């Protein structure tokens, strides 16, 4: 049964972004204007050059990955100035729920920038198209991977969009392909104007993550490893991407979400472009921890 619950911001309390509205707006502006790691400018108002399908964006604290995410949101803002529903597919860090899990418990998600409504009608249709879609509020209650995308979306769209929140555990190619097709069917049936965002960081390297492959030149080696994953994404070769994840026992936290987004993009004849990659060691200068961030665009030529 649907509930008119409100999801209060969690990630802001944990320091991923500022809990104060004015400070958050400054954080977002700085992410776009950062000329070293970000695009160096705010989105411009101009005629669209391409058709946006969606993309991949990181979900670390804004001081680390915000400028990387800004690359994707600048492209979306400039080429898709309006959207009906954003399909947010993220990492399942909590372990609650099944392989692919949404929630209808919350009809509204809050951030310091305001309210975002949930597209409950689309979720209902998606459940019919994909019977294994779980509905579990616990998988979303304390999950940050979707929430950190919301202020960026609010920054470029104000509050004129709805969301479908989905978190994903490890999955295989068949599951990614079937869910992407179900998603397209539900969207087409309702005539929704959508963008899909896969929220994922890439390699998490360091003893804190229990994942140490390199002992020297860590930042550059993490980048080389991440580029193997990214090149498979650029080829839209989902099977190769997932096999690489297995091969390296990878710590690409949103691999399942990325696989679904890749399959979804293929259904629309999508192309792929890497907008920006860097890792946290490049930001902090500390190689004890290195987490990869990529901003990747799925699009069609107009």
**Domains of the chain by range and CATH?**
5-197+205-214+226-285 (3.40.830.10)
How high is the pLDDT of residue 4? 60
- Please report where in the chains the tokens 């600048």 appear, as a residue: 74
How high is the pLDDT of residue 3? 46
How high is the pLDDT of residue 145? 86
How high is the pLDDT of residue 92? 78
Q: Which 8-state DSSP code applies to residue 45?
A: -
Helix (H, G, I), strand (E, B) or coil at 228: helix
* Tokens (6 digits) for 240: 């190769």
How high is the pLDDT of residue 134? 94
How high is the pLDDT of residue 1? 38
Residue 138 CB neighbours (<10 A): 14
H helices of the chain, in order, are 21-33, 67-79, 120-129, 138-141, 150-157, 173-190, 218-234, 238-247, 255-267, 280-284
pTM summary value: 0.95
Distance in angstroms (rounded) separating the CA atoms of residues 214 and 211: 9
Low-confidence ranges of the chain (pLDDT < 70): 1-4
End-to-end CA distance of the chain: 41
């Amino acid at each position: 049964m649907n509930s008119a619950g409100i999801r209060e911001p969690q990630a802001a309390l944990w320091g991923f972004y500022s809990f104060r509205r004015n400070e958050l707006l400054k954080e977002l502006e700085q992410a776009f204007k950062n000329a070293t790691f970000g695009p160096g400018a705010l989105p411009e108002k101009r005629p669209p050059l391409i058709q946006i399908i969606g993309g991949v964006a990181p979900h670390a604290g804004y001081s680390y990955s915000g400028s990387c995410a800004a690359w994707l949101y600048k492209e979306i803002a400039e080429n898709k100035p309006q959207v009906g529903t954003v399909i947010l597919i993220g990492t399942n860090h909590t372990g609650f729920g099944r392989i692919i899990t949404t929630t209808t418990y919350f009809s509204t998600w809050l951030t310091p920038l305001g309210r975002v409504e949930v597209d409950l009608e689309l979720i209902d249709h998606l459940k019919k198209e994909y019977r294994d879609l779980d509905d579990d509020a616990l998988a979303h209650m304390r999950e940050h991977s979707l929430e950190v995308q919301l202020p960026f979306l609010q920054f470029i769209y104000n509050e004129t969009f709805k969301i479908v929140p989905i978190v994903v555990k490890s999955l295989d190619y068949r599951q990614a392909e079937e869910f992407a097709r179900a998603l397209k069917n539900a969207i087409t049936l309702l005539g929704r104007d959508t963008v899909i965002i896969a929220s994922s960081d890439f390699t998490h390297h360091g003893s804190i993550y229990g994942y140490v492959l390199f002992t020297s030149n860590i930042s550059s080696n993490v980048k080389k490893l991440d580029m193997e994953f990214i090149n498979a994404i650029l080829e839209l070769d989902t099977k190769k991407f997932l096999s690489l994840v297995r091969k390296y026992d990878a710590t690409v936290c949103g691999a399942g979400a990325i696989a679904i987004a890749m399959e979804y993009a293929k259904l629309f004849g999508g192309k792929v472009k890497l907008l920006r990659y860097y890792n946290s060691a490049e930001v902090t200068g500390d190689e004890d921890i290195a987490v990869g961030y990529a901003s990747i665009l799925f699009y069609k030529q107009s």
